[in-house]
Every structure is written in structure tokens, then in C-alpha cells.
A and B are shown apart, each in its own frame.
Chain A
């Protein structure tokens, strides 16, 4: 008999023998960064901040951002309690299926996957028309380059170019997702650094050139275009004349839809639940920390940057510029995004280039993130017999999951075509949010039920504390359910958030849920013919 080598670990609280170990790909740091990219500050500032300033004038953005990210904390913590107990790639498909029922897991996963695919289409469109085109315009304006301005305005207005350039980004994101963690995490972490540097540089420039200095810089740049020596105040006057409330924080009723705009992004920091099986030390407190921590990082950055923008550009001007964007009162080629205003404040083409690249890179990483979940979901469906096994086929030469990659790419491109030619970013994104709400509700219910229906697994997990006899997991699940329902209510109640036809939106939700049920029923029939009902295959073997 060979002698066992037994070592002490964890300060003598554990003794391990020498045996094969399992090393997972995603480190704790990469885990947090991964979750920050569900709603990175640059992304939220570029979309939610400017969107809400224009669509919901007078909203208190500090309150909206804080409420949005506090909702994010609640949801992230709730999902983390189950993820740290059942850290499996497949996320909601696995834990909702195991806690409630496999068919509920399929419905949840189909809704989440559909939401993510729609988001991928919407984000691709915004990447082209909201990040790349304005960045080219900003560079053109600041550096007086007609070529850049032409490219920027062409991308903003020409659907063919939008589609073509979007396909390039989608293809690059798909290839990155298929390349495995090594390259994906390199790009992700590089993106985190570039995004952070972009925000840091923006903050420094805006703080250095704040107040009257910014007014002078802005008027200097605007004068050749407007012929007005005080364009800054003219824009505020124009907004007031068209009836816009240019005092952020003065209209509380508009803060609710602004909160809705933020919550559409801010509650997905639990996204790493879909890669739970690939994360190191996922069965520890590191999972809640990575999810809640990512939300905290994004909240702090958003609040700080919003305060800096209001201080630097002037809150009235900032609100007015976004309100008149798209009208004659804003005659500039670039929209009043922070990239443009910061570049004007800094007065440097190099700065405009850097901030533009930083924003585009941020959006690209967010787009890559959209491929991570669907590819794993299709894999999980195939492994479980819900879809044909060939969908999980991996190229023996390149180790690329060719079939699932092809399916996800084709679906994204199809939805992107609809986004470009038949819709707009906000409608696509709002539709995605609404479909995802179904998954969020089912996930919340499974968190509530987890400690009661999977008692042994819950006992062996990290979050076993109780408050007044009720498991913290259950309480967190109730909080998450409230957040999920509120999320759905806000998007259905406020058309300004993108849902202009409730009937159509609810029909779309119904189609996805029905598709999940139909797929399950067909798969079950096929598997029964093969001798193993799907319900049986997905059910837990009784241990006793």
C-alpha cells in the first residue's frame, strides 16, 4: 500500500490527501470584472443617462441610479445564494430546473436566452450608431476632419452600412466567445482597463475644464457652426422654449421611468451564474462578493461620473442639450454624449480618439458577453436531450463549438437585421428586458423555494443564515421577485422606455414561452421513443 500524503489546509480546519485536483478557468478578479460588464459605467452613462435626460426631463438621476443599482444588489445577492450552492454552467436553466421543475427551467432559460439574443442585436446597433458613429463625428468635429464626419454621418443614417459594420462586430464577438476563456478574458480585462482609463481621463478633463471654462470652450467650438457667440446659453433657452424642464431632480414623477431605464441594465450583475462551473472557488462567498461587488463598482462609478458631468458641463445645459438633441437647436453632428462634451472641453483630437476608442471597446466587450450565455444554454439543452446532441459538437481540430456558435450567430444576425431595418435600439432593448422579466421572476421564485425544496444542498452552501427563523436566501428571493415584477411593470407602464405597444410586447413574451413548451413537449416525445422520457432524464435520482 502506497503511503498517503495528507496535508493541512485552511489553518488546520481541513486535511487533504494528495489527489487529482480541479482547476477552473475564471479567477475571482476576472469573475468580478465579468459581472461589471453587464452594466459598465461607460455603457450606462452613454445609454441610460443621456436617454433619461432627454426622455424624462427633470428626473432625479442620483435617485434613479441609486434605486436601480440597489435593485441590482438585491437581485445579485439573491441569485448568488443559489449559484454558490449549485455553480453550474447553464445558470438559470440548471438551478431553476433543479429547484422547481425541468420544464420551468426550460421556460426560464428560453426567456433569458431570447432576451440576451435581443440584447446582442440592440447592443450591436447601439455600438454602431450610438458609439462608433458619434465617436467618428466627435473626432471629425474636434479635428475638423470631413472624412471622419462623412463616415460618422453615413453610419448614422445608412442602414446598409449599419448592417455591414454591425455584422463585423458580431462576427468578432462570436469568434472571441468561441475561442475559449484564455483570449476572452484577456480582451475582457483589457477592456476593463481601457474603460476605466477612459472614465478617468474624462473625469480629469471635465473637472479641469469645468464651469465657465467649459462654457468658453463650448462656445468657441460652436461659434463657426451656429454663428452664435453664446451657443451654450442659447441651447438652454431653446430647451426651455420647447417646454423642457432643464432642472434635473425637480420632477419626481419622471424619476420612476428613469429608474426603469437604469434597472434595464443594472440588475444583471448575477450574469456569471451562467458560467458557474467555470469559476474558481464558486462554492464560497466569492460568488456573492463577485456579483454584489460588481454592482457596487458600477453604482459608484455612475454616481461619481454623473456628479462630475453635472458639475463640469452645468446641469441645466447637460439636460437641455439632451432634450434638444435631434432638433434644429442642436446643429452639431455628434450627439451630446459625454465623449463629445468631454472632447470639446479638452479641445483635443487625440482625446476624442481615445475616448471614442474606449467607448467602442466597452460596447464590444458588452457584446461579447451576450454570446457567453446562449452558447452555454444551447450546450446544456443538447447534453440534456432537449435538443439534438449534435448541437454540442465541438470541432476536434479547433475545439470550437461550431454548431452552437453558428446557431447563436445566425440568430443574433437575424435579430440585428430586424433592429436595423425594422426597429430601433430602445424598442429592441425594451422587448429584451420584458422577455427577460419572465426568467427573472422564475429565478426569484426558485431562490425563494431553494432552502425549502433543496434543503440538503442549501445546508451545504455558504448562505445558511436565518433572520427571524426565515432563511436569508428566501428573503433575498422575495426581494428579487419584487424587483423583477417592478421591472416588468415599469416597462409596460411607461412607453418612453421603448414598449409602445403592450399587446405586441406581451405577444412576443408569449411566443417565447410557448416555444419553450413546444420544444420541451417535442423533445420529450422523441426521448420517450428512444426509451428515456425527458422528465425522467432531468429528474433527481432519489438517494434513499
Chain B
């Protein structure tokens, strides 16, 4: 009896996958707790860990001012400053304490703001990795994290240093008896983000990894960018100036996924394909026998979009999109 058949039993493997937390502190904390919450043995973070913006908290005459969700907010006590920081972090931004002079220097000098941004990201990631070690070190839970196309190269070193975090990018790793291929690169985007490759080079890179698989049909593909025209990759078309392309006065929706990823899935027919990258294209689809999932991302809401997948030797037994 299909719908009432017991699934996800003890013999299977239950993984939790999320992606694109983009610097949200609360989402990272939730991600680390997701295994316990949903009863999973493996946690997979599919890339784009780091935030996109820093918000200076400018100190002047004993008060602090910062820009939060479109308006200036002032804080006059330690408690109010903490509240300000939490609001900034909730929206996926990095709070940065500066004086008026330092703020002006940031505005005037690109090198200074780049240095400060890099420092903010590195420090936050080090704190995140420390948190992961604290929470997962004495558990059976395995943690896999890879950078995504938006993540700077500096974060790889931080991930590599940790004994708890498995940086699986560009590798084949074992996930509860299933081989997992991981790749954080994307096809070219209008934003020219740090980790992008032309489709043919991306295919060659992925093909090289897939060639190392012993059993592709039971493998997991953890590839940041979703397959082209899969319904997991629908986004607005953007021009070279990062403006939406209008057709008939309306933004034009197009598939922006990778043809290389689609080709790879069609050739190797893995059990499961996990993707992120296109936040607004949350969904589940089938490409041949492969179950392909993009749980989407809403990182500034404080809710972690993810999915739980129960895997067995016979295939994907059950999957569920979740909003935690």
C-alpha cells in the first residue's frame, strides 16, 4: 500500500541539505542543529556561505547609527547596539563598528573596504567553524560544507583547517555508503562572481570528477548550480548592467542553470542531485531517474530552507522540502 508504507526506516540513510545561507548567523546555527532536529546522520551545505554586504555601525558622540532594512536606526545603549547587530545579522549582513573617520575612509578608499570586508567574512567563518566543532565534535553526525560561486577563495583555507568540517568541493566523498560528487562552481553569471567557469570547462571539470565514481547510479551529485531548464533554475534575465531585461515592459523569466550539469546528470543518472544557487526556484523534479532538488533560500527571513532525503540501496525512498 503506497502511501501508508513505512519509509525512512533505520536501515536507510537520512541526509539534510541546505544551501545559500549567505552570512546569516541564525541560519548557520539552525543548520548545525538540523541533524538533531530532523533525525539525520549527515549534513550537507551546498555553497554560498558568505554574506554579501557589510553595514557600518558608525559611532559618533556616544551614539551608534546603522542602516537596517531601508532606514537609519540609532542605538544609545549596549543593549540597543546588540539589538542592532542582531537585526543586521538576521538580514545576512555583517555589522562593522567604525568611527566617523573610518567610515569616511571606507567610502573614499576601495582597498580599505575590500580589506575590511574580507576580514569580516573570514572572522565570521572562523566563528562558524568553531561553533560547528563545538556542537558536532562528539557526535556521529558528519558535516559536509563546500563553497559556492559567490564565496571568496579565502574561505577554503578556513574550512580545510577544521577537523569537523569536511570541505567536499571538487572531491568524491563517502556519505553513508553513497559516493558524493561536489562542485561549488557555477556557469557564468552577470555578476562575475569568484567561482565561475564557461559551460565547456565546467563540464570537463564535472566529467573528470564523475569519472572517479565507482557506482554513479547510487551516487549523490552535490552541485551548486542547478541543471538547465529543470524548473529549479528559473530567474529573471539580467543584462550586462545588472538590470532586469524587460520584454513587453515586464521582466523576462528564463532558465539560468547549467547545460553542463544537465548533461552530466543525463549521462551518469545519479540517485540524487542537490542544488542551490537560484534562491527563488525552490522545487523538486526528476531528470530521468534522478531526483533533483533545489530547496531555495530565503536567508534574510531567519528561516532555513532545506530538505531531508531518505536514501536506500534501492533508490531515493522519501524526500521532503522543509522550512525550519
Contacts and interface: CB of A to CB of B under 8 A. Distances in A.
A212 B253 CA distance: 55
Nearest to B189: A20
Interface string B180-204: 0000001001011110000000000
Contacts of B235: 22-23
Interface string B62-77: 0000111111100000
The dominant DSSP class at the B interface is mixed
Nearest to A22: B279
Interface string A1-29: 11111101110111111111111110100
Interface in A240-282: 277-278, 281
A421 interface: no
A277 to B, nearest CB: 7
A532 B324 contact: no
Contacts of A327: none
Contacts of B323: 94, 384, 538
B81 interface: no
Given A23-B236, A456-B90, A531-B7, A539 B249 contact: no
B252 A526 contact: no
B9 A542 contact: no
Contact of A19 (B114, B191, B234, B282): B191
Interface in B60-104: 66-72, 83, 86-87, 90-91, 93, 103
B234 A86 contact: no
B282 A456 contact: no
Contacts of B279: 22
A142 to B, nearest CB: 34
Contact of A389 (B30, B86, B191, B284): B284
Given A17-B117, A392-B283, A541-B324, A531 B14 contact: yes
A186 interface: yes
The dominant DSSP class at the A interface is loop
A141 B46 CA distance: 67
B252 to A, nearest CB: 7
A14 B55 contact: yes
- When A and B form their complex, which 9 residue pairs have the shortest distance between CB atoms, in order from nearest? A531-B8, A13-B67, A541-B324, A23-B236, A543-B29, A460-B90, A284-B70, A541-B30, A19-B150
A5 B251 CA distance: 26
Contact of B321 (A14, A182, A384, A526): A384
B260 interface: no
A218 to B, nearest CB: 41
A518 to B, nearest CB: 16
Interface string B40-61: 0000000010001111100000
Interface residues of B, number: 93
A533 B205 CA distance: 40
Contacts of B7: 529-531
A54 interface: no
Contacts of B214: none
B318 A531 contact: yes
A40 interface: no
A185 B189 contact: no
Given A4-B114, A456-B26, A531-B310, A399 B234 contact: yes
Contacts of B310: 530-531
22 contacts: A6-B113, A6-B117, A8-B113, A14-B55, A14-B93, A15-B56, A21-B191, A23-B238, A182-B247, A277-B298, A278-B280, A285-B70, A396-B231, A457-B301, A460-B68, A529-B6, A530-B7, A531-B7, A536-B37, A536-B38, A541-B34, A541-B37
Contact of A394 (B48, B231, B248, B300): B231
